[in-house]
Amino acid sequence: MFLGLFSSKSRNLFVRGLHFAKQSTRPSAEDIIFSAVCVNIRQKKWKFLDQLSSSLTNSLLSRVFLEFQSSPQLLLEVYRRIGGQKAILDSLESCCIVVHAMVDQRNYDEAVCLMKELMMSKGYLSLEVLEALINSLSVCSPSNAVFDALIRACTQTGATEGAYGVIKKLRMENYWVSIHAWNNFLNHLLKIGEVRRFWMVYREMISYEYYENVNTFNLLIYAFCEECKLSEAISVFYRMLKRGIVPNVIGFNMLINGACSADDLDLAVKLLEKMGAMSGGIVSPNAVTYNCLINGYCKKGKLEIAKRILAKMIEMDVKPNIRTYATLIDGYLRNGYLEEAFRLCNNMVESGLIPNAVIYNSFVHWLYVEGDIGGVALLLSDMMLKYITPDRFTHSIIAKGLCRNGHVNEAIKFHSWLVEKNLMEDAFLHNILINYLCRINNTSGAKQLLCSMFVRGLIPDQVTYGTMINGYCKAGEMETAAKVYTDMVKVGKNPNLVIFNSLLDGLCKEESIDCSRFLVDGMKRINMYDAVTYNTLLDGYCRAGMIKEAFELFTSMRKAGFLDLAPDFITYTTLVTSLSNKGSSEEVVKLHDYLVLQGVIPDSQTYEAIVSPIIKDLAHEFE
DNA sequence: GTAGGGTTAG
């Protein structure tokens, strides 16, 4: 039986990796163990393997895996049984034999899963796995699909550079990178919000003379939608048609969702209606299509229309799914219709669907917003009773809910509990806690929390740094804020507009007008500024009593109105407050009239507190 | 491979 192992297919591996060169005609000790192991595996007598597994050598393992290459289920079972043993850890190439076997069986999910384990639990680098895959190619049937699977394993574990490294290396070694692999990587870039890099990689791919397939085109549509470039997205669609590529419902859904998020619901509806015509009768709307529209209308508060779409959906024989209900329920909740939301949830249950964590999360969130702590407690215990596992959203919602209802300490305790139970936590949750700690002037607590993130291997994101910076700015600790800013830049995180605005606000509050101006000039140079920037600086001028400068800035905002910098009700409040403190009622009234003519509407609070009394005063004077 | 729920600025 050993002779079979010397087929041309296997020889390569033996020559390279195994100590088979003893040239002995008598079977070695390893041979004897090998055949015993194989017999026991065939008979599924695991006890023998279990006893032996800690002493299996690399070469023996490779031989065993090769032996069972053509019985992938058995192979997988063997691998799983000895997976925790050190031998497996040392023997990346034998693991790759299993991966190849899975790919040969078209069991890609298992292959991806195995490689994720190699990288996540066993700590191999993507390029090490790649090398081992290439080395074992000669003993396994060559299939490029293993590379696709490796790239998928990388993107699924968030190893962006790992995935890109594999693509680069494959190209260098003259292996073919499939369009699927490129698409997978491009899709990953979009998922993590790297739209700029998406376009770079796309251009790179095109420069190697690849042809886009329908999935690539869909990704282009998605990317343009992310950038709110709807007309470009639609033109991609037509470019695809011209190439003779048959569109699918996914591309349409991306367009429709894009239109919804760009607030163009009319276009979204038009696309839904024209789907058939635009695709030559091939594509018709599915549940996702309707869900996108329902979501669009729910977010706009147009619940009646959302409900009509649900009815239409049923009429067209498209079955509403859990997401349909989740979207509608959230829509009702965010518009204050708690009763309706509960009723809808009941309908859903009656139709045979079981509420999931998303639905519970919506309820919990909005009940917290209403301050209904008792209701939340009931819902959470109901969730536990039904064995619905809370996810990281649930945790964040609870933390934020506790904080917003004034129980910051409870939220911190809740967080400690999560840590203790080793439950999911993420930067998001920390951002909430850091924010609320800062709000109650506990910047040192916030800092501790930030440090604890590093200890537990959680990477603070832009928002974490932004929240810390804002906290220090609000506390008037501008130097510390600046230090956090430098730390952030040091770890390669780019500051964003929110962070600049926070810093600016801090400078304005301490009336460092020169610094503020300097910062704003810098922001303008890199084209990172918005209405908040102007309003903040305006507030700074007013605080410093620089009314002339304030008005000049106000005028320039009017001029720049086309750039989304038109004065808004915050501008209004800032100026009006400042002017009324300085006692010049007539200016206030003039400004008020002007802004109202410009379509700026004061919020009622401002109006009641400031404008209304002044107008009354003036009215008295004229009596 | 598209759809739902949670952070940040005046």
pLDDT in tens, A388-406: 999 999 999 999 999 999 9
How many helices and strands (H and E) does chain A possess?
37, 0
- Looking at residues A166-183, what average pLDDT do you find? 94
* Structural tokens at position A500: 């600049």
pLDDT at A539: 87
Identify the residues numbered 63 to 122 in chain A whose C-beta atom is closer than 7 Å to any atom of strand B.
none
Under the banding of pLDDT at 50, 70 and 90, the label for residue A573 is low
Closest residue to B9 measured CA to C1′: A498
Confirm whether any atom of chain B, the nucleic acid strand, is less than 7 Å from CB of A509: no
Report the range of poorest mean pLDDT among A240-254, A345-359, A541-555: A541-555
Can you list the positions of beta strands (E) in A499-576?
none
Counting Cβ atoms within 10 Å, is residue A73 exposed (0-12), middle (13-18) or buried (19+)? exposed
Residue whose token pair is 């669009």: A296
Alpha carbons A237 and A76: distance in angstroms, whole number? 43
- The pLDDT of residue A139 is 72
Q: Is the CB of A330 under 7 A from strand B?
A: yes
Chain A residues 566 to 585 with C-beta below 7 Å from nucleic strand B: 568, 570
Residue A183, CA atoms < 13 Å, CB-side half-sphere: 16
A188: pLDDT strictly greater than 90: yes
Max mean pLDDT among A10-19, A258-267, A564-573 falls in A258-267
Please give the Cα distance from A321 to A600 (Å, whole number).
Answer: 42
Q: Is A120 helix (H, G, I), strand (E, B) or coil?
A: helix
Q: How many whole angstroms separate alpha carbon A470 and alpha carbon A503?
A: 7
Q: Is A18 exposed, middle or buried (0-12, 13-18, 19+ CB in 10 A)?
A: middle
CA distance A454 to A161: 21
**In the predicted structure, residue A1 carries a pLDDT above the cut 50:** no
Residue A132: both structure tokens together: 């081992």
Place A37 in a pLDDT band, splitting at 50, 70 and 90. Answer: confident
Query: Nearest nt (C1') to A292 (CA)?
Result: B3
Per-residue pLDDT band at A564 (split at 50, 70, 90): low
Answer for A393: CB within 7 Å of strand B.
yes
- Alpha carbon distance A437, A444 (integer Å): 9
State residue A556's pLDDT score: 79
Query: At residue A40, does pLDDT exceed 80?
Result: yes
For residue A254 the two structure tokens come to: 């991306």
How far is CA A77 from each of CA A33, A42, A187, rounded to the nearest angstrom? 19, 11, 33
Band (A12; pLDDT cuts 50, 70, 90): very low
Rounded to the nearest 10°, the torsion over CA A198, A201, A205, A211 is: 0
**A528 CB and strand B closer than 7 A:** no
In 3D space, the residue among A226, A218, A278 whose CA is nearest the CA of residue A253 turns out to be A218
The predicted pLDDT at position A571 comes to 66
A195 has a pLDDT exceeding 80: yes
Verify if strand B has an atom below 7 Å from the CB of A306.
no
Integer-rounded Cα radius of gyration of chain A: 31
Helix or strand (DSSP H, E) at A480: helix A478-490
* DSSP 8-state secondary structure symbol assigned to residue A609: I
**CA A62 to CA A622: how far, in whole Å?**
99
User: From the CB of residue A29, how many other CB atoms can be counted at a distance below 10 Å?
Assistant: 7
Chain A 274-293 residues in 7 Å CB range of strand B: 286-289, 291-292
Grouping H, G, I as helix, E, B as strand and the rest as coil, residue A84 is coil
Q: What angle do CA A304, A310, A312 make, to 5 degrees?
A: 105
Q: Separation of CA A414 and C1' B4 in angstroms? A: 26
How does pLDDT run across A288-337, given as a tens digit for each residue? 999 999 999 999 999 999 999 999 999 999 999 999 999 999 999 999 99
Cα(A139)–Cα(A71) distance, rounded to whole angstroms?
A: 16
Q: Looking at strand B, which nucleotides approach a protein CB closer than 7 A?
A: 1-10
- For A445-468, write each residue's pLDDT tens digit: 999 999 989 888 888 988 999 999
Say if residue A236's pLDDT is above 80: yes
Q: Does any strand B atom come closer than 7 Å to the Cβ of A310?
A: no
3-state SS record for A10-72 = HHHHHHHHCCCCCCCCCCCHHHHHHHHHHHHHHCCCHHHHHHHHHHCCHHHHHHHHHHCCCCH
- Whether any strand B atom is under 7 angstroms from the Cβ of A437: the reply reads no
- Residue A64 above 70 pLDDT? yes
Distance of CA A172 to the CA centre of its chain: 31
Interval A346-350 mean pLDDT: 93
- Tell which residue, A480, A403, A472, has the closest CA to residue A438: A472
**Nearest nucleotide to A400, CA against C1' atoms:** B6
Extract the runs of DSSP E, i.e. beta strands, from A545-615.
none
Helix (H) / strand (E) containing A302? none
- Judge if the beta carbon of A331 is closer than 7 A to nucleic acid strand B: no
Find which nucleotide's C1' atom is closest to A248's CA.
B2
The residue with greater pLDDT, A270 or A85, is A270
Three-state SS at A305: helix
pLDDT in tens, A123-170: 899 999 999 999 887 777 667 899 999 999 999 998 999 999 999 999
Q: Is the CB of A181 under 7 A from strand B?
A: no
For chain A, first and last CA: distance in Å?
Answer: 115
- Strand B proximal to A467 Cβ, under 7 A: yes
* CA A494 to each of CA A226, A351, A465, A466: distance values in angstroms, whole numbers, following the listed order: 20, 48, 10, 11
Instruction: Specify the higher pLDDT residue, A282 or A612.
Output: A282
pLDDT at A77 over 70: yes
Q: State chain A's mean pLDDT as an integer.
A: 85
Residue A179, number of CB atoms within 10 A of its CB = 16
Return the closest nucleotide (C1') to the Cα of A500: B9
Ranked by mean pLDDT, which of A87-91, A134-138, A471-475 comes out on top?
A471-475
Residues of A (189-208) placing their beta carbon closer than 7 angstroms to any atom of strand B are 191
**Beta carbons within 10 angstroms of residue A522's beta carbon:** 12
Question: With 60 as the cut, is the pLDDT of residue A618 above it?
Answer: no
Nucleotide nearest to A425 (CA to C1'): B6
Q: Measured in angstroms, what separates residue A593's CA from nucleotide B3's C1'? A: 44
Q: Does at least one atom of strand B sit less than 7 Å from the CB of A226?
A: no
pLDDT tens digits, residue range A514-549?
A: 999 999 999 988 888 888 898 899 888 888 888 888
Least confident of A75-79, A236-240, A249-253, A476-480: A75-79
- Among candidates A384, A387, A320, which has minimal Cα distance to A347? A320
pLDDT one-digit tens code per residue, A45-60:
888 777 777 777 778 8
Report the nearest residue to nucleotide B2, CA vs C1': A250
Q: How confident is the model at residue A4 (pLDDT cuts 50, 70, 90)?
A: very low
Is the CB of A606 within 7 Å of strand B?
Answer: no
Distance, CA of A431 to C1' of B10, in Å: 20
Whose C1' is closest to the CA of A392: which nucleotide? B6
Can you give the pTM of this predicted structure?
0.81
**pLDDT on residue A53:** 72
- Amino acid A221: pLDDT: 95
Q: Do A411 and A433 contact (CB within 8 A), yes or no? A: yes
Long-range contacts of A411-414 (CB under 8 A, 24+ apart): A411/A436, A412/A437, A412/A445
Q: How far is CA A316 from CA A194, A220, A287, A320, A347, in A?
A: 37, 29, 10, 11, 19
- Nearest nucleotide to the CA of A249, by C1', is B2
Distance CA A22, CA A37 (A): 21
- HSE (side-chain half, CA atoms, 13 Å) at A169: 17
Q: What is the pLDDT of residue A275?
A: 93
Residue nearest to nucleotide B1 (CA to C1'): A215
CA of A447 to C1' of B5 (A): 28
Least confident of A195-209, A220-234, A430-444, A532-546: A532-546
pLDDT for the residue numbered A14: 37
Judge whether residue A7 has pLDDT over 50: no
Nearest-nucleotide field for A505 (CA, C1'): B10
Task: Note the CA–C1' distance, A346 to B9, in angstroms.
Answer: 40
